[in-house]
Every structure is written in structure tokens, then in C-alpha cells.
Amino acid sequence: MDLPRERWVAIAGVTVLSLIAVAGFAVAIWAAWLFHDMPDASDLADYHPPTATRAYAWDGTLIGEFSRERRIFVPYDNIPPQLAQAFLAAEDRNFFKHAGLDYTGIIRASAKDIVNIAQGRRLESGSTITQQVAKNILLTNDATLGRKLKEAMIAQQLDHALSKERILELYLNEIWLGYRSYGVGAAAYNYFGKSITDLDLAQSAYLASLPKGPDNYHPIRRKAQAMQRRNWVLDQMADSGWVTRAQADAAKKEDLVVQPEPTRAKYRDADYFVEEVRRRGLATLGPRLTEGGYYMRTTLDPRLQSAARTALMDGLERYDRRHGWRGAWGHVTTLTGWEQVAKTTVTPAERRTWEAAVVTDVKGGVRIKTVGGQTGALAAEDVTWARAGKGIGAGDLIFVAPDDKGGADFRLKQVPAVNGALVAMDPDSGRVLAMVGGYSFSLSSFNRATQAFRQPGSAFKPIVYATALENGYTPASIVVDGPISLPGANGQAWTPENYEHEYLGPLPLRKGLELSLNTMTVRLAQGVGMPKISASAIRLGVVTKMENVLAMALGAGETTVFRLTGAYAAFVNGGRKVEPHLIELVQDREGKTIFKADQRDCDHCTMGFNGDESPRIQPSGAQVWDPITAYQITSMLQGVVQRGTGAAASVLGRPTGGKTGTTSEFRSAWFVGFTPHIVVGTYIGFDDNRSLGEGEQGARAALPIFIGFMQEANKLFAPDDFKAPPNARYAMVRGIREAFKPGTEPKLVDDSLTGPQPYDQVFGNGITGAPNAAAAVNPQAPPKPPVKKDEVNGLYE
């Protein structure tokens, strides 16, 4: 049917209007869906980006960072103008002029996007810094029209809600700049190893070149492109008038030199300590640790930590060398391309002079070539050592280091198969001054100081003797060292023996510790009662539970170096159980203390000094031993160093105590020692708990590590003597001046010149003493028998 033209026009008009209405409705629905969950820009007023928690040593040395995103927050007022201007020149030179959107930039980017859409390329951003803040913090990174619309709307809101300075602060702290860096603070440190205040013009311009794509301008892999982009930023800064043309041209001539890789801290000797801090920080703070931007002061002393790492690594290498060359770690049949094979093996990062090498000639001596291209001969003694072991031949891949003594070109090196740990603590506070949990953190992050539970052997015995002294025994008490057989498991007899398989008869307590006599210790434990000894071990934190069997008195229960070292602190500090800790203080970004290890109260410490007596703070820790008991054990353990199994430590030349420990079949070797200022635990053993080898006692394997560490540590402390409790009484017992609790001292002394006399007449207040007196506790006791020493070490275990 033919309709008038006017009718067709009307129908068409209605149809068009209907389509427009439908389209409008559809757009409205789409817009409602798009913007229904749009973030509120005002939320950024109090926004703090996730920031790294930085851990510092006791002296302020940065030792580590913990973060999801590696970021160092820098307030706007601390950002150098030159650095801010570099980013403005590269990203948004009109930032301080527009209201969140730069329409000129949008038109320019839109024109390019027409071509990009046709060619299937990613859309141009054309984004202002304000838009980038909106995208980076509040939105996703999707290159869609919807996200771009949200970005534009939020950018305008941001410009009204926040100051320009706050927006720029957020941008410069939030942006990803590569090299594990979020924000300019972390980037300056990771790329150049310096604070942003120390960056020069060329370095600032390079950082400003990175937002468009850090991988595209990598300073090592794509250095030419990186320098070209940096120079473009310098030109933009000159065009904007922020630097002169001469300054820009001078900066262009500067080479782009960065650190080979980003590092969390320049101090690298504390990896095990820092990882343990991270674990404990997570337990205390939870997820806040990696995003809260906390200041964390730890207990670490870098001087002692470096000494500990060196002492442990040297000691493990000495043990390893005693047990022979195990052979090359690799072999090649041709010298062509051997370097690529060598680079697949990791050297211990802590041994910075070690280098992979290939053996090129074995005629006469042995010649090598390092992966760095150096050639030379191995030391003759190393060649002899290698040939006595698994041998060495052409094509072998080995580790070498320059001969620092100058006798040869290179020394042959071998990564020890054995491992160990060292912990050093302040006995008065429990501060962990140093901790090394293994030979090399780069090869194994397992912390043997805190995670490896091993039997301590005779290193546990001081707890047995201290418990005895708390329960009626005195230094004058006599206990028999002789063969003993007791009912054991499955109806079989248990017959503990001394290391030498010899027995010395009735002896005062001291000798049982000094000579580490097993049968004497078992008899003592039998007399005291294992429930009391187990309770002491649990109270000290050595174990969480312990079977009440006599084998535990000889160190059959498992513990860690960390736990046992903390227990020994109570002998040094007067009998107080201090809590070993690595984290001393944690403060948030506003400086508010949220964690403090020292919980002691001091009511007057915050008051100004008015001339009165200074506040007195009680010592930390609960009293677990009588102070005289603690001093008695300290004195006996001094005897271990003076006359017993730890005699090698007498080379230190100052008051030192300690105890060796060796487990059955020589599976673990221990030495825990101390001076008045520091207590140190050392352990050596295989991770699979196999035997260290015949004769590898604590005195031979672990004690030299303690000595090596203490030779450096003692340089930091005065050569003080151990302080005796003021109420202790004294008497001579077999030629040694012993401390007693009041009322327990012997009533008679027998001096070879004067005969028996009343104790008070000879000793009075305990200040004087006869040098050759012997306690008259057991007048029939036989004289001290001659002591046979171990033929290898001159030591007992």
C-alpha cells in the first residue's frame, strides 16, 4: 500500500527516535554498570602505598628489607626538585596547569589510537600524571575504553580532592620503575646505590625515562636505548627551562653505570639473621610486616656478625680439608665452551674471591684457567692433597681463589659437605649479637642455629650439675666416677662409659664437668632425680618436654644451638632466664612504637633529670638459679677451659668458661662458651646426621670455631672477671677455691702446714684462702689420681 511521503517521513522519524532512545537507554545501562563500583578519589587523602619494612643493625646499618612491593616512601618535601622536574618533563609537563586532564595530549593520543585500532596495536595512554595515579592505585591496567573513561573521571575528582603536591607524591612513590623498584626512593637505591638526594642530573633523567617501560630501557641489556631515552628526557627538561642547554649536554656525556643487580642491603654477612628476623616479624606483625613501612631495629652487631661468619666458614673448611678432596664438581671433555658449563654451578656468594676454573694441564704441577680468563698454577700442597684424595685431571671443573700468601697463583677450594651454626648473645639482655645458620645462605637457607634439632651431648651436663647444686649438693660433694650398669630398654642393661674408657674414682663435682665424665654424671643425675633435671631444662627453654630417663643427663634430648646458648646465659648473668631475641624495637611510619622487646617498667625514665639519683631498672629475666649456683657453674666451666676438655680456649688469655659436647658415633660436635660479656654456641654436623668421623669431638671440631670468633670478639670487650655474688662463702677443695652458699661451706680445712682448723678462722669473710687447702668433707678420699689424656688432642670428652 502506497503511503504519502509525509507518512513515511513520520514513520522514519519515529523509528530513528526509538533507536536513539534504545541506544540511549543501553548507554545509560552500560554507564550505570561501568561506574557503579567506581572508587572514591577522596579515599586517597589518607592513602599510604605498601612500603618496605627496613631492618637495621644495632649501630644503624641497613641489613634487610621486607616487602611485597619494594618501595621506600619519600614525602614530597624530601623529593629533590630536579628529580620531580625530570618526571614532569617526560610524563606531564603541564601537570601544574591542567585540572587532571590534558586535552591537547588526549587529542594527540586519540589521533594515534585511530591508527593503532586499525592495526590491532595497544592504545596510546595520553595520560596525565593524575590519570596514572588513578589507574595505578584505584583501577586495573586494562587498555579498554571503559577503564579510560573511569580514569578520566577519577582524575578530575583527584584534582579537586587533593593538592598537586600530594598527587605528585603519590605518583613518584607508587610507580613501577623496574629493577625490583616501586617508587623513586627504591629505584635510586637499587639502580645507583644511593639516596634520591644524591642523584645527579643524568641519573634523575634516567629514572624519569622508565615509566613508559622499564624493560625497554634496561640499563644493562638495552643500554643504548636506555641512554637514548635518558637523553630525550634531558632535552625535554631543557626545552621546559628546568635546566640549561649546557647542563643537559653535559649530562648526556655521562655514562649510564648502575649496580649489577638490585640489593636489599649493602651489608651482606647477615643473611641467616635477616631471614630469621623476617620469620619472627611475620609471627609478630603478620602481613603488616611486608607493607607497613616499619622501622625495625634489631640486636645485630655487624662487627661480631662478620667475625662469626668468617669463623664458622673457616672452621667448616678446616674440618672438610681434614677429610680429603672429594673430587671435581664437574668435568668437560673439550675446553671449547667450558665457561658456559661452569656458569651453571653456583659458588658460595660469601666467598667472594672464589671462581670456577678448568684444569688445563696436569704434567708436573697443575695449571688452571678461571672463568674470568686468568691462568696460573695451583699451590703444590693443594695438588698433593687432591691427588691423595679423589685425584685431579685435565678437564676437571673446580673452584679456586687467589693465593693471598703469594706462594702460588691459586689455591684449590672445595665447598664443605658438612655444616654448622654459631650464635652469640648478650647474657644480660638476651640480645642476639650474631647468628650464622650454615656455611652459605646462597647454597642453603636452612638455619641450623634455630631449625636443626640435634643432641647436644656433654654440652647439656652443666644443667645437670646446676640442678644438683640447687638440691643439696655442693662443690665439696664427692661422687664416684666408676663403671655403672643400669636397667635399660627391652630388659637390656644400659652401661654408659667415659670417652677414655677409664675411671678416676671418687671426685668432687668440678672434675665431672672439667673432664666430662659420663659415669659420674649419671650417678649424680640418679641422686638428684631426672624429674628435677627435666624441669630445669624445660624452665630454661632448652626443650619443651623431656623424658625422665638417665640418658637425657648425657645430652640425648634434642635441642638447637639457639636454645642451648640462651640457657648458658643464665650461668653468666647471675641465674636469670633472659629471652633470646633478634628484634629490639619496631616503629610505624609516624614513629609510634608498636613492639619493644624490653618490657621492663621505669616510672621515672621519662622525667627530666633534676639532680636526684638516676632511676634504677631491675635486671631482665626471671630468676631460675640461685646466683651462687650460677657462679659455681661458671667457675667449674672456667675449669673446663683451664684444665679440661676446653683447654685449647686458654689461648684467649682472659676469663673464659665453656663446655664441649659430642654425641654418640661422633654425629654432632658442640662447644658453648662465654666471657662476662658474651655467650657463644657453636655446632658442627651433617644435615643427614651421619657421623663426623672417628675422633671428631667437640674439642676438635667445634671449639676452634669458638676460639676463632672470640679472638675477634674480645677486641670489643674489656678483659673483666666474672662477678661473684656478695654473699658467697669460700673454701679450698683439692687445691681449688670454691664458692659456697652460706651454711654449706666445709667447717674444717686441712692445710698441709697447719693441720685442720676451723673454717672461719682461716677464711673469715671469704676474702683470703690457703693455696693448698683441701676440703675435709671426706678425709678418707684418695688423692687425685693421675689423668691420662687423649693421645690425639690431649682432651677429654
Which helix (H) or strand (E) covers residue 519, if one does?
helix 518-528
- What cell was used for 613? 639519683
Run of H or E residues at 434: strand 432-436
- Burial letters for 622-650: b for 16+ Cβ neighbours within 10 Å, e otherwise? eebbbbbbbbbbbbbbbbbbbbbbbbbbe
Residue type, 612: D
Count how many Cα atoms sit within 13 Å of the Cα of residue 583 in the half-sphere of its side chain.
27
**Encoded amino acid at 489, one letter:** A
SS3 435: strand
Show the cell assigned to 157.
Answer: 575528582
Amino acid at 59: D
Instruction: Report the Cα 30 to chain-centroid distance in Å.
Output: 54
Sign of the torsion angle spanned by Cα atoms 59, 60, 64, 66? positive
Measure the CA–CA gap between 289 and 155, rounded to whole angstroms: 31
What whole-number distance in Å separates Cα of residue 103 and Cα of residue 99? 10
Catalytically active residues, by annotation:
91, 458
The rounded distance, in Å, linking the Cα atoms of 205 and 203 is 5
Instruction: Classify residue 686 by burial, with Cβ atoms within 10 Å: 0-12, 13-18, 19+.
Output: middle
* Cell numbers standing for residue 68: 611485597
Dist CA 216 CA 255 (whole Å): 18
Phi, psi of 399 (to 5 degrees): -110, 140
Q: 623 forms bridges with which residues in the sheet?
A: 576
User: How far apart (Å, rounded) are the C-alpha atoms in residues 368 and 385?
Assistant: 16
Q: Is the dihedral of CA 450, 451, 457, 463 positive or negative?
A: positive
Residue 529's SS3 state is coil
- What single-letter amino acid sits at 10? A
As a whole number of angstroms, the longest Cα–Cα distance in the chain is 151
Alpha-carbon distance values, 277 to 435, 514, 583 (Å) = 11, 36, 7
Strand blocks (E) in 504-617: 505-508, 576-577, 583-587, 593-596
Mark 424-449 as b/e (b = at least 16 C-beta within 10 Å): bbbbbbbbbbbbbbbbbbeeeeebbb
- Between CA 638 and CA 647 the distance in angstroms is 10
Question: In sequence order, which residues have a C-beta less than 8 Å from that of residue 320 and are 6 or more positions away?
Answer: 414, 416, 417, 418
Closest to 514 measured CA to CA, from 792, 743, 681, 738 = 738
- CB contact set of 81 (below 8 Å; sequence gap of 6+): none
User: Which ranges constitute the DSSP H helices of 267-301?
Assistant: 271-285
